[in-house]
Structure 1
Amino acid sequence: MLDEILSQNEIDALLSALSSGEMDAEELKQEEHEKKVRVYDFKRALRFSKDQIRSIGRIHENYARLLTTFLSGQLRTYVNISVASVDQVPYEEFIRSVPSMTFLNIFHVKPLQGRVIMEVNPNIAYSMLDRILGGSGSSMNKIANLTEIESMILTQLFEKTSDNLREAWSALVDMEPELEDFEVNPQFVQMASPNDTVVVVTFDTAIGEASGMINLCIPHIVLEPVIPKLSAHYQLQTAPTQPDQRVYEKLAANIERTEVEVKVVLGETDISIQQFLDVQKADVITLDNTIDEPLIMMLNDEPKFYAQPGLSKRKLSVQIMEEIKGGKQIR
């Protein structure tokens, strides 16, 4: 049996060689009956089938979507995360592939055995840190001089991502991921023997103008109890025949609790730095809005409504007049 399917051009070339006498059909038959030896590298033992690797990939495609939504809300900037590859490699090969100084988040995934490593490229991690601290999301590389406050901020952010991992795996197993440790040097992380097989899921990540990789390393010991559930046959058997109403209710409840920033723009103007420095008490700055024009109500910095100012129970308020449709020119 051929290990791979021949293309039509290859089939035509094979038939042409047989008809011209360049190849002997009897020799081909003889080779087919001979025992063939395939080289097997015991250091790169393949313990997961292609079907199981595809299932792991699908789980983490969902995880990438959940992580994108979560980080977009936390950082209030453009975030895009997608699965780049899913590979099974020896643990030693994974450790050698990561930078000598990087961000390593170690999760304990109860009730499963073992631990999972989330390796975050410094370029991405510092962009996150800059956004949390009120910056534009620019990146830098000073990982060797990471302060305790910076470490704590990043640890708290990565700790919150455990909910996304639990939700992504909820169809197969009820796990409770918990951030156990935070390291910057991979040499201090020894969670498997060098030749143990691990699954490495690599995510292409873009946060604002910064881009890089996030790697999720899952040892075989973690996945061993759920390997039978990773087959497509099992997932087809256990797939619900109709939508679960509880899922929709939970989703609706989560959306209703989502907070959005609402602000009303009274007006805008441009002045020079010198004019700004010369501003004194009782000076008047003229805005571009006239007194009879409506104000713009912004939701997460997006114009959504026209409004007019007023008072409600002795508090400054606005009354919504009209929705700003997509593509409509703002007055």
Structure 2
Amino acid sequence: MNEVLSQDEIDQLLQAISSGDSEADDYKPVNDTRRIKIYDFRRPDKFSKEQIRTVSNMHETFARLTTTSLSAQLRTLVHVHVASVDQLTYEEFIRSIPTPTTLAVINMDPLKGNAVLEIAPEITFIIIDRLFGGSGDTGGKVNRDLTDIEQSVMEGIIVRILANMREAWTQVIDLRPRLQQIETNPQFAQIVPPNEMVILVTLEIKIGEEAGMMNICIPYITIEPIVSKLSSQFWFSSVRRSSTTQYLGTLKEKLADVEMELVADIGSINVPIRDVLALRIGDVVRLDNIRVGEPLTLSVGSKKKFYCQPGVVGKKMAVQIIGKIEEHENEDFEELTPEGDETI
């Protein structure tokens, strides 16, 4: 903020300059060190740096999945990696892609709105040539529209790619992307107004010695409901949560087949070791605190879990479960045995 000088201060300053006591150059204005950030109201930033970084992490997973699936389907070495993640207007995206191209309009259910998956022509025709039995060498760039058969083949490829996208987005939302249609002219894929902000994920695909680009364009209004989840904290907490529950169903299924020993405990008594060694056939051991009609305890492994009563099924002895032992009751059973004694 500039300081306002009084009239006396102005007079003293002029007198000092005229008398030669001070030079005019000594009174230079102070440089303004404030940083000025240019802001374009025509293309406001809708995504923070953290959100863009999270989207990049998600699509790194998508790139790895797509590398595996395309390599298996094309029977050749394929490498996919994230080249960049940017935010720009939809008009800028449309102007940046060639015509004709392979442009898939994707329904982002359960999110409202659509997204666009664009595969560069050089990659499209390499994929088609490989699937038709060729070597993948297209002899340079091919610049033409897809035939009906080629478009049908690319639909199958895109459906597989969308399955990878669904898996990559699992940590944030249960996304169910579906292919709506394939266009070759970008002007026919106006899913949002031209000045609407979008997030653009650019991936580089290398098939053999040939390389090209694949773009995923997602409008802000489509993912606005989940923008708060696009944070590093939410992302890593979701990854940890999923890693602990991913194999929970399999573990339960395997544990269900594990055999456990069941023991019906009629009663017990503490006796010295010398008495145990002196036991002979026909001796009677009197158990403490056992009454006729009282329930027995049924142990599963080393834990007392149920109350039961003895009986017979056919010609075999059996027990019938009549109740469950609660945790606080189980603690009462686990008292220490006096030293030098043996429990029978």
Normalized against structure 1, the TM-score is what?
Answer: 0.63
Q: How far apart are 1:113 and its partner, in Å? A: 1.1
RMSD of aligned Cα (Å): 2.5
Which amino acid counterpart does residue 157 of structure 2 have in structure 1? L
Q: Which residue of 2 aligns with 1:289?
A: none
Alpha-carbon distance in structure 1 between the residues aligned to 2:26 and 2:213: 49
Q: Where does residue 95 of structure 2 map in the other structure? A: 96
Percent identity of paired positions between Structure 1 and Structure 2: 40
User: 1:149 corresponds to which letter in structure 2?
Assistant: I
Question: How far has the Cα of 1:178 moved from its partner?
Answer: 0.5
Q: SS in structure 2 opposite 1:131?
A: helix
Q: Tell me if the contact between 1:43 and 1:90 (Cα under 8 Å) persists in the aligned partners.
A: no
- Tell me: CA distance 1:237–1:68, structure 2 relative to 1, closer, same or farther (3 Å): closer
Matched, 1:132 2:131: yes
> Once the two structures are superposed, what CA deviation does each residue of 1:183-216 show, in whole Å capped at 9, x if it has no partner?
1110111001111100011111101222111111
Please name the residue that 2:85 is paired with.
86
C-alpha distance in 2 between matches for 1:23 and 1:50:
44
Alpha-carbon separation, structure 2, partners of 1:68 and 1:208 = 12
| Equivalent in the alignment of 1:67 | 66
Match of 2:171 in 1: 171
Task: Please give the alpha-carbon distance, in whole angstroms, between the structure 1 residues aligned to 2:201 and 2:27.
Answer: 46
- Name the SS of the counterpart of 2:30 in structure 1: helix
Equivalences for 1:272-291 in 2 at 5 Å? Answer: none
Match of 2:183 in 1: 183
1:247 Cα deviation after fit: 4.6
- After TM superposition, give the deviation of residue 243 of structure 1 in Å: 3.3
Further displaced range: 200-209 or 139-148: 139-148
Question: For the residues of structure 2 that align with 1:38 and 1:113, how far apart are their CA atoms?
Answer: 34
What does 1:143-292 correspond to in 2, within 5 Å?
A: 143-240=143-240, 243-244=243-244, 246-247=246-247
Q: CA deviation at 1:233?
A: 2.7
Separation (CA, whole Å) in 2 of partners of 1:58 and 1:40: 27
Instruction: Determine if the alignment matches structure 1 residue 113 to structure 2 residue 112.
Output: yes
The answer on whether the counterparts of 2:172 and 2:238 sit within 8 Å (CA) in structure 1 is no
CA distance in 1, matches of 2:149, 2:106: 21
CA deviation string 1:28-80 (max 9, x = no partner): 5xx25x7x654321122100000000000000011000111010011000100
1:209/1:238 CA distance change after superposition, 3 Å:
closer
- Once residues 187 and 242 of structure 2 are traced to their aligned partners in structure 1, the CA distance between those partners, rounded to angstroms, is 48
**Paired residues, what number?**
225
1:123 equivalent in alignment to 2:122: yes
CA displacement, residues 257-309 of structure 1 (integer Å, 9 cap, x when unaligned) = xxxxxxxxxxxxxxxxxxxxxxxxxxxxxxxxxxxxxxxxxxxxxxxxxxxxx
Q: What is the CA–CA distance in structure 2 between the aligned matches of 1:104 and 1:211, rounded to whole Å?
A: 18
Which amino acid is 2:184 matched to? V
Q: Measured at CA, do residues 76 and 43 of structure 1 come closer, stay the same or move farther in structure 2, by a change above 3 Å? A: same
Which whole-Å CA distance do the structure 1 matches of 2:114 and 2:27 have between them? 56
> Is the radius of gyration larger for structure 1 or structure 2?
2
Unpaired runs of at least 5, structure 2:
1-24, 251-344
Q: Is the 8 A contact 1:102 1:122 kept in 2?
A: yes
In structure 1, list runs of 5 or more residues that go unmatched. 1-21, 251-331
